[in-house]
Amino acid sequence: MKRLIFSCLLGSFCTLLAAESNFDYGLQAQRVADDVYVFIGRNEDFSTVNGGNIVNTGFIVTAAGLVVIDSGPSLRYGQQMQQAMKKLSSATLLQVINTHHHPDHFLGNQAFAGTPIVALEATRQGIASEGNVFAENLYRLSGDWMKGTESVPPTATIVPGRVPLGGRTLRLLALDGHTDGDLAIYDETSGVLFAGDLVFNNRAPTTPHARIKRWLASLDTLEAITREPGFTAIVPGHGAIARDGAPIRQTRAWLRWLDQAMREAAAAGFDLNEVMARPLPAEFAEMAVGVREYQRSVGHLFPAAEQEALGHAH
């Protein structure tokens, strides 16, 4: 029995090593609706094991070609994404949409040379100014999965609104709060909402560029879509697909708690280390990467809360 258990453990470990040595992301497209597919990433941090595959990317098959939504964290990911798409559709690439400028969503752009890559203007500016730094950071976190990856900015600015495209209608929403430019894509034909990183599902949100009040307002806009008659599914930037607005409500609850916790700690005179050591509320205790993202968020958000508390004291 012990030998069997050891053999199983060794086999799993060897499989993991083989996948890493081959740099195979193992991308499998999950069908969300007719002609709408998503590649679901792991609810983890970046690592040399997952190669940065912690993000949800997707594509929509239209009569005019494939619309790709986010290109993943590396050149390899973008290449493997194309291979996986070809197994499901012979349609040509029409365009790549970057929802925002965080690296796991755009560093696969390089694999789509010759295909129009579009984004909000704020996203284009963010990639132009921070893209190379992001790529260098992911090299440190993900190792040789990133080999050959370079930051490639979008080639055009997308215009929000309703866009007829290959027999479908896409509603492009220019929002913000997670970053200065967060694009959500609602495929009115299928009722599938690609929310980008405005929405996380059972994974703690990341906040390096967060403006929480504006983020909360964006969530209100997205939740209104989930109440429309044709809505069928929401694809968060991280975490499982949902068929209702529960991930939006969960993300909102986390952000409200986080904002209140920073303000209360600052008003009480806590220092940074004391705030980082505070436990998560029970409702978030099982959330993936919760403690680590909370601690990062303290670093991102607590200094401003301290400044606000000092201003009120005077």
pLDDT at 310: 81
pLDDT at 12: 42
Residue with tokens 């896409």: 170
Mean pLDDT score, 143-158: 96
CA angle 67, 244, 289 (to 5 degrees): 80
Helix ranges (DSSP H) in 196-271: 212-226, 246-267
Give me the domains of the chain, ranges plus CATH numbers: 23-245 (3.60.15.10)
Mean pLDDT score, 228-236: 98
DSSP-derived pairing of the beta strands 117-119 and 156-157: parallel
pLDDT at 313: 57
pLDDT, tens only, 163-184: 999 999 999 999 999 999 999 9
pLDDT at 127: 97
Residue 184 CB partners (closer than 8 Å, separation 6+): 99, 172, 173, 175, 193, 194, 195, 196, 198, 218, 221, 222
Confidence of residue 21 (pLDDT cuts 50, 70, 90): low
Confidence of residue 10 (pLDDT cuts 50, 70, 90): very low
Identify the bridge partners of residue 31 per DSSP, sorted by sequence position: 37
pLDDT, tens only, 184-205: 999 999 999 999 999 999 999 9
Mean pLDDT score, 263-278: 96
Per DSSP, 88 falls in state: T
Residue 73 in this model has a pLDDT that exceeds 80: yes
Q: Where in the chain does DSSP place strands (E)?
A: 30-33, 36-39, 57-62, 65-69, 93-97, 117-119, 156-157, 161-165, 168-175, 182-187, 192-200, 233-238
The one-letter amino acid at 204 = A
CA angle 213, 314, 259 (to 5 degrees): 20
pLDDT at 112: 98
Radius of gyration of the chain (CA): 20
Residue with tokens 């609104």: 161
